[in-house]
Amino acid sequence: MKTICTLFALAFFSLNTRADIFDWFVVLDATNGFYASPGVPEPAIVALKEAQSENVEIKSFAFTPGGDWLLLENKGFKSSDDSLGICKMLHKSDNKFEEVNCAAITHTGNGRVISYKNGDRAGEGDGPGAAWKKLGNLPREGHKIRSVSYGTEDSWVILYDQTGICYGGIPAKLAGILDNAVSNNIPIHCVAFSGRDWICLANDTWWSSNPNLPASKFIDQSYRSGQHPKWIAFVPNEGSLDGDFHLEYIKSHRVTYTKNWTFQFPNYVSKRWLIAMCYQPATAWSRDIKCTGALLTSAGWKPFQTSYENSPEKRPIWIIDYPHDDPLLKSGFKIQTTMTATVYEQKLVSGPPSAPVLPLTQAQRQAYLAPTESYDFNKDSVKQWITQHNLWITNGESRQNFVRRVYRELRKTLPYSTADGGRWICSQIMKVGFGECCRHSVVGTSILRANGIPARMICAGWADDDNSQGGHCWGEFYWEGVGWVTYDTTVGSKKKPTDAYFGNKEAHWIPQMVDQDYIIDAGTFGRRTAFGLDAWPIHWSEGEGSLDGEKCVGTSSIKVIERYK
């Protein structure tokens, strides 16, 4: 394999000159020879060379979705970041690395597992439960685990002993190859996943789901030249989004979310209040909605009326127009909303949907493509920013793959910060160059609409337990035949690329607002555009004095009515 590193690399560079993180791979052979594709960080190459020169046995090499890496040796490990969860777990091994069979990271990067020779295993985060059970049972039954591989959609493969194999959730073609290997006692060295593609290595042959992968071309030339790799590692990712996909919804819990606002105006005497608030939107992951809204008066709670705002999206709102001579309302008001809904986890999975997904109406499509005060992508400065970051869709690029490219780019190049960056307007956010979840969502929605892709911003409140996590925002885009697909550019690591939050949403949130820019017709008060209507009601008043010096206190409470999961 060492000759491959020195002689074949020049020819291989012509096959793959890109250095995209999801194109990286590392190949190992039984003599500690290795090949690192273009883009693999130099410290990883140095660590591999040191192991090679010191004749230290390399047990495995793995990447995280963010491009960090782990080199596991028989007497220790090396890593790009010692604070990685898998590294912390290995440190707890009391330096008995010779007792470690293997270490693996799930394709989302959120799960880690270590298998020991005595049958113990350590794990944390997500990962298929069936694989976890096997990792415990196999060593206790006298088997030696050689490797664990994780793919998309909870797929996994465990290799043990010389020819033992167990798996779950893998493609039929790969399952057939592995079953045949077991039946004919063919030792499999390694199974590795790159998104929805895979490579399987054996003594004298190999298989791949996609011969056009740069790694497949390299492996093919390796075998043709007499070299037989034993290991290949990819940066975990979700793979191409071409083909059939659908959204899967897992019913989680039913919850009531209550919000109270108390406004005080010490320098004002009111004779009339007109107040408007968001009405909880319906989404595919928040269903069977019941809402109430009310104003506290001396005679009790006065209910709000349901109406619609005047933007092209025509979203429902709560509104009340209340002339009064009520001492309780002279210098302020108190309002309350309750939102009850059944919340679902959402997953993007391969395969056609079980039932057709209704397309957007022409009016809906136009609304979700239109520029607004927040989504000012028709400005030259926004178009220039999009061009500078290469975020125009290209010929032949599917919309869903383009959206994921935007998702990855924003996670990488728009720093997360809660510092004051001015108004939540796309051009302003691009100007300052940072933002929290709401600003990220404004930028993402603007870029997608500029590229002709229906998109919207979701603002939600924590609704899983009483330990409130506040609010959160993310983006959604409409995928024809699939529905509204989530992409969240700020959850998880703010600095590392990962596909874990593209298409997938946990059941922690209840939606409170879709998009900003609510245009409200307030009658004699005129029209007004409201932005953060999910967080703060908008109000008008007739009276005497000044509304300056406003004081407002907002509180929320959560009650889980029933859990289904």
What string of DSSP letters covers 426-469?
A: HHHHHHHT-B-HHHHHHHHHHHHHHTT--EEEEEEEE-SSSS--
Give the list of residues 6+ apart from residue 525 with CB closer than 8 angstroms, or none. 274, 540
- Residue 486 is predicted with a pLDDT of 97
Among 514, 513, 520, smallest CA distance to 274 is for 520
State how far Cα 522 lies from the chain centre: 39
- Residue 5 is predicted with a pLDDT of 44
Please tell me whether residue 222 adopts helix, strand or coil conformation. Answer: helix
Which residue ranges form the domains of the chain, and what is each CATH number?
2-234 (no CATH), 252-342+523-563 (no CATH), 349-514 (3.10.620.30)
- One-letter identity of residue 298: S
Q: Residue 329 carries which DSSP code?
A: G
Q: What gap in Å lies between CA 75 and CA 557, rounded to an integer? A: 52
User: SS3 helix, strand, coil % of the chain, rounded to 5?
Assistant: 25, 40, 40
Region of 17 please: left (phi>0), alpha (psi -120 to 50) or beta. alpha
Among 428, 447, 423, 414, smallest CA distance to 516 is for 423
Give per-residue burial for 186-221: e unless 16+ CB within 10 Å, then b.
bebbbbbbbbbbbbbbbeeebbbbeeebbbbebbee
- Residue 15 is predicted with a pLDDT of 38
Please tell me whether residue 424 adopts helix, strand or coil conformation. Answer: coil
Give how far Cα 312 sits from Cα of 215, 267, 520, Å: 48, 37, 12
- Residue 437 is predicted with a pLDDT of 94
- One-letter identity of residue 5: C
Token pair recorded at residue 129:
């439960």
408 touches 498 (CB < 8 A): no
Alpha-helical segments (H) within 261-322 = none
- One-letter identity of residue 535: A
- Residue 102 is predicted with a pLDDT of 76
Q: What gap in Å lies between CA 262 and CA 305, rounded to an integer? A: 19
HSE-CB at 267 with a 13 A cutoff on CA atoms is: 7
Strand partners, 521: 527
Among 310, 319, 432, 447, smallest CA distance to 374 is for 447
In angstroms, how far apart are the furthest CA atoms of the chain?
A: 93
The dihedrals phi and psi of 373, each to the nearest 5 degrees, come to -60, -35
Give the neighbor-by-neighbor strand order of the sheet with 58-63.
58-63, 69-73, 76-79
Give the list of residues 6+ apart from residue 173 with CB closer than 8 angstroms, or none. 209
Among 539, 533, 553, 560, smallest CA distance to 279 is for 533
Token pair recorded at residue 45:
């190459």
pLDDT by residue, tens only, the chain of 565 residues: 433 343 233 233 333 334 478 889 999 987 878 999 999 999 999 999 998 888 888 888 999 887 889 998 887 889 998 888 888 888 876 556 667 777 888 877 777 777 776 666 777 766 788 888 888 888 888 888 888 999 887 899 999 999 999 999 999 999 999 999 999 999 999 999 988 899 999 988 999 999 988 999 999 999 998 888 999 999 888 777 888 999 999 999 999 999 999 999 999 999 999 999 989 999 999 999 999 999 999 999 999 999 999 999 999 999 999 999 999 999 999 999 999 999 999 999 888 999 999 999 999 999 999 999 999 999 999 999 999 999 999 998 999 999 999 998 999 889 999 999 899 999 999 999 999 999 999 999 999 999 999 999 999 998 887 666 688 999 999 999 999 999 999 987 544 557 888 999 999 999 999 999 999 999 899 999 988 888 789 999 999 999 999 999 998 899 999 999 7
Please tell me whether residue 218 adopts helix, strand or coil conformation. Answer: helix
Check the CA dihedral 529-534-535-537 and report its sign: positive
Token pair recorded at residue 25:
């791979």
User: If residue 123 lies in a helix (H) or strand (E), which one and from where to where?
Assistant: strand 121-125
The dihedrals phi and psi of 534, each to the nearest 5 degrees, come to -70, -35
The dihedrals phi and psi of 417, each to the nearest 5 degrees, come to -160, 140
Beta strands in 298-387 (DSSP E): 300-303, 305-308, 316-323, 332-350
Can you give the pTM of this predicted structure?
A: 0.78
